[in-house]
Structure 1
Amino acid sequence: MVRSELVRKIADANPHLAPKAAEAVVAAIFTEIEGALARGDRVELRGFGVFVTRPRCAHTGRNPKSGTPLKIPARQVPWFRASNLLLDKINA
């Protein structure tokens, strides 16, 4: 499912909500999740899962074309852990 399909499904499930308003809702949710992760906060959606950031250490990589070594700096990466309810629905 892509973002536009999600917006359409939300608009279809809520007839009182215009498609533009559904797009605004989806954009607001994603913006808040992005902002929380950028601040280093944990985002927990009960029954769905948890979004957090995890550190990735600096390391040496290689350019696949030339084989020359590259220093890859440390950074934070997003990580998602599905809730048990979501896992049960997926594996039912």
Structure 2
Amino acid sequence: MEEKAPNTKDACMAYNKSDLVSKIAQKSNLTKAQAEAAVNAFQDVFVEALQSGEGLKLTGLFSAERVKRAERTGRNPRTGETIKIPASYGVRISAGSLLKKAVTE
């Protein structure tokens, strides 16, 4: 009999920032303050890279880039009125080979 896929809402237990800081501190023998400083620095570099249009690539882990979204027409769900959704920017994140391998095993 085929296994049923887990409910993604129940199966997805994401780390929040303090959990991540604790795990990094534990694995790297840093204090929590040092680990938090490292996480904050990574966050700053990541945001700055995307804002400047450079993107970020951690080989094997992931790559992220800023992408332009074209103007498009949409519909107001309440009124049914057609509206123009202006052009904007978004983020495209692609999993690297290490992540892909980790989730398929």
User: 1:84 is matched with which residue: 82, 93, 97?
Assistant: 97
Give the number of the structure with larger relative contact order, counting CA–CA contacts within 8 Å between residues 6 or more apart: 1
TM-score, normalization by structure 2: 0.78
For residue 5 of structure 1, what is the aligned residue in structure 2? 19
Tell me which residue corresponds to 2:8: none
Which of 46, 49, 52 lines up with 1:39 in the alignment?
Answer: 52
Which consecutive unaligned segments of at least 5 residues does structure 2 have? Answer: 1-14
**C-alpha displacement at 1:18, in angstroms?**
1.8
What is the CA distance between 1:33 and its match in structure 2?
A: 0.7
The aligned residue for residue 39 of structure 2 is: 26
1:16-60 Cα shifts (integer Å, max 9, x gaps): x22122111101101111110111112110120110112211012
Instruction: Tell me the percent identity.
Output: 34
* Superposition TM-score, scaled by structure 1 size: 0.88
RMSD of aligned C-alpha atoms?
1.3
Q: Which amino acid letter does the alignment assign opposite residue 25 of structure 2? A: A
Deviation at 1:70, TM superposition (A): 2.3
Unpaired runs of 5+ residues, structure 1, are none
Q: How many residues align?
A: 91
